[in-house]
Homo-oligomer: A and B are copies of this chain.
């Protein structure tokens, strides 16, 4: 017997694909290894946002002097991590319920391996299908050496939310989006943080000016050691000693825990894709179409975080749906509607990228102009006591069409949606300046940035 479709992986992309596919056929199978919920709900977006909500509000409460209130705060933070787990469980059990509603004969627990282009093996049994959607996701990059040295003092995003209590201190290895969110939240909650960064930047902005604003605001809070990686770890006096070099100097710090946030690795490796085609043994060079996620010209689609440069939930979910459309129209394969690129780091202030980033525009040799607005004295931001950062908008010089933005502003997630939703309309500067900007709002800073780029283009 051959299934119409086998989906491998029941995370965000897999669940989205299954939901779409069961409207098309009952002859399908979904195979999953591990919990039947999502990285996002279990160890990703959701628990981190719960932690960040507590951290931000605690931080604001400690800084009421910014809004004219002298206050003393006595706080018991022992409920913070239990609340994270309570909500996490609520979100994952919601998903569990969805999955429980699926037909038992559609679901298999276990690790899939390809036998050939139309056959996988799970728990010793073989299953054939006309098409596959592969949505196996990622896992935190393991580090056996570190693990051996300090055991359960080495945390990843899989384990950090399981801590009974907030530690006193933590070393965070990596300064990408996830580590920035977590380190900042922990820091706001009184955890002493030290962040080790291979490079010179915090999070994912690419514009030198926005990067500088981010570094200036966040480095002192997070104690980021730039261009510094740990040499070794050892357990000593019930703490972890982190040894590292700064210049020629050997240094050490003692911390309660180490969070390995050096990135995530794809789980495609375990699927034996080389059994489909020997050339697929290197998952980094798979012939996957960037837009349709199709593997070569096969009825096989690799969606979600397993193979992407933009591991964000709404794109994974969208890819799952589009793959199902293409599975059932195969060999006709179409690109889905273009989603405006949008990424958000839930730091404070928030960091967001919309459309093409500064670096992408440079790499693509686009002739663009930059509009900038500082939020250091922006009206509403000042009133809120959150007047930090700024926004850059990028505009095509010839057509004056809006191309992208980099944002480091309080509530930046909303400004990012605003700009992402108009991006595909290809608005000009003048189109954007004729939108309503209510007073007094953070959105008025967006107007300042577009006025700035308008002025620059006039003067040039």
Contact = CB atoms under 8 A, between A and B. Distances in A.
A254 to B, nearest CB: 27
Interface residues of A, number: 68
A91 interface: yes
Interface in A214-242: none
A54 interface: yes
Interface string A54-88: 10011011001011111111111101101110010
Given A45-B440, A342-B436, A438-B416, A73 B61 contact: yes
B384 A53 contact: yes
18 contacts: A46-B440, A49-B380, A49-B440, A53-B385, A54-B68, A58-B67, A64-B75, A68-B83, A69-B77, A69-B79, A71-B73, A314-B437, A339-B436, A413-B438, A414-B417, A418-B421, A420-B436, A421-B421
Contacts of A53: 67, 383-385
A438 B316 CA distance: 11
A71 B91 CA distance: 27
A434 interface: yes
Contacts of A46: 379, 383, 440
A438 B417 contact: yes
A74 B75 contact: no
Interface in A420-460: 420-422, 425, 434-443
A37 interface: no
A340 B436 contact: yes
A434 B72 contact: no
A333 interface: no
Contact of A75 (B71, B337, B413): B71
Interface in A30-62: 40, 45-46, 49-50, 53-54, 57-58, 60-61
Interface string A14-43: 000000000000000000000000001000
Contacts of A442: 414
Contacts of A421: 418, 421-422, 435-436
Contact of A420 (B45, B312, B435): B435
Interface of A: 40, 45-46, 49-50, 53-54, 57-58, 60-61, 64, 66-77, 79-80, 82-84, 87, 91, 312-315, 317, 337, 339-340, 342, 344, 379-380, 382-385, 411, 413-418, 420-422, 425, 434-443
Given A417-B443, A420-B436, 18 more contacts: A49-B440, A53-B67, A57-B61, A60-B61, A61-B64, A61-B71, A68-B80, A70-B79, A73-B73, A87-B382, A91-B379, A314-B436, A314-B437, A337-B434, A339-B435, A413-B441, A417-B438, A421-B435
A350 to B, nearest CB: 11
Given A79-B68, A414-B411, A443-B417, A438 B58 contact: no
A312 B45 contact: no
A312 B438 contact: yes
A68 B82 contact: yes
Contacts of A441: 344, 413, 417
- Pairs of residues from A and B, 3 with the lowest C-beta to C-beta distance, nearest first: A68-B83, A414-B414, A61-B61
B76 A67 contact: no
B83 A342 contact: no
A315 B441 CA distance: 14
Contact of A439 (B70, B312, B385): B312
Contacts of A436: 314-315, 339-340, 342, 417, 420-421
Contacts of A315: 436
A416 B421 CA distance: 13
Given A312-B439, A438-B416, A57 B50 contact: no
